[in-house]
Structure 1
Amino acid sequence: MLRLIMNEQHVAWAPWSGPGHEHLVLREVPSGLTAHSSVEGVTDEGRPFSLRYFLRIDTAWRVREVELVLLGSDARLVLRSDGAGRWSDEKGRSLPELDGCIDVDISASPFTNTLPIRRLGLAPDSSDDISVVYLSVPGLSARRGRQRYICLGPERYLFESLETGYRTELRVDAEGLVLDYPGLFRRLPSR
């Protein structure tokens, strides 16, 4: 379990290039953690977006609830999980196309890489292939994705999308929070 100073931790990232910013607040709760985040960014087509997301994470680092809201529109997505890979929408309807996914990957945030890093607890030179609920921003669509995490050593992981072949080395801190996601995100210093 991630132990936070005063039960709360603030983390911020910026894109490697272009405008944008993410401010994440992690809070310890009796059932695990909550993550509240605000993301400002620009799409590949140059359109600005503002996203707010909330995650409820259990003590085993499994996502139990995710809510994404795109500000300035009616776009909202809420998903809930039983922690064993079964998902439903906000009305309780089953989403069998997501069966087996434990983690989520929000395209506009490096924080969601922390979830499998912490949950898997990989030893150096070991790897695991996982299914994730891939959440695209700003479209707020959900689909199954296949990924691989390889622990290269202390605080270094190789991340790979098994569908596209995209690979990059992630540097993380001792708590598994991304410091550097080459070409996409970099951690801002804490104040």
Structure 2
Amino acid sequence: MAFLPPPRSVAWSHQDARSGFEVAFFHPRRDGGYDIEGSTAAAEDGRHWIVDYAITLDAAWRTRRARVTSRSGANAARSTVVEADGTGRWRVDGAAAPHLDGCLDIDLESSALTNALPVHRLGLPVGARAEAPAAYVRVLDPAIERLAQSYARVPDEGSHQRFDYAAPVFDFACRLVYDASGLVLAYPGIAVRAAD
């Protein structure tokens, strides 16, 4: 089942791991891709933070560019720009980042939105599984890491696609539920979609 185009805006309420909210806006591009602007504000482990992001996707939902700006407490805002060539080569703030070779997606620790990127890009049929390493941006750490993760599509539930997601480095696994546009509805322990 192909996904419908994303809505102009979408929001999530964070749960369990943190309390907060995320809002994202989709802007279609002439080349068939999207520019996405979003922001997350949250409280977690006694810290308060805000992350603003601008992500450019090509028509295949591969990340081509992202600017991520975070602020926490009295710290000054920190901004990072990552760029990708669409074939798995990355630059971070203008410098080559060979440790990210082979990644096609960005994954923001602060965001439920970025789990939509590999699902769209992969187009997995029911029963298929794929590795989807990502350029991982933490909220309070300036280093961009390589995050090993996988998605396995399980039978749909009505119009909702479902995927078993795993990120072994965090010893984390859950079942993600997506709407007809391929955006996360339920991310157990992390976020749920806010009412439209």
1:94-148 Cα deviation digits (max 9, x unpaired): 1111111111110111111100000000000110012111111132431011111
In structure 1, what residue type is equivalent to 2:57? I
Q: What is the match of residue 107 of structure 1? A: 109
Q: What is the match of residue 147 of structure 1? A: 149
CA distance, structure 1, for counterparts of residue 168 and residue 19 of structure 2: 29
RMSD of aligned residue pairs (Cα, Å)? 1.6
CA distance, structure 1, for counterparts of residue 19 and residue 132 of structure 2: 31
Where do 5+ consecutive residues of structure 1 fail to align? none
- 1:118 match: secondary structure: helix
Q: State the shift of 1:163 in Å.
A: 2.6
- 2:132 match: secondary structure: strand
Identity of aligned residues (%): 30
Q: What is the match of residue 35 of structure 1? A: 36
Q: State the shift of 1:3 in Å.
A: 2.4
Q: State the shift of 1:89 in Å.
A: 2.3
In structure 1, what residue type is equivalent to 2:176? L
In structure 2, what residue type is equivalent to 1:178? V
| TM-score (norm. length: structure 1) | 0.91
Where do 5+ consecutive residues of structure 2 fail to align? none
1:13-34 Cα deviation digits (max 9, x unpaired): 0112453111100110113101
In structure 1, what residue type is equivalent to 2:162? R
Count of residue correspondences? 185
Q: Which runs of 4+ in 1 moved over 4 A?
A: none
CA distance, structure 1, for counterparts of residue 173 and residue 147 of structure 2: 14
CA distance, structure 2, for counterparts of residue 41 and residue 115 of structure 1: 22
- 1:54 match: secondary structure: strand
Contact 2:4 2:182 survives alignment (8 Å): no
Contact 1:68 1:140 survives alignment (8 Å): no
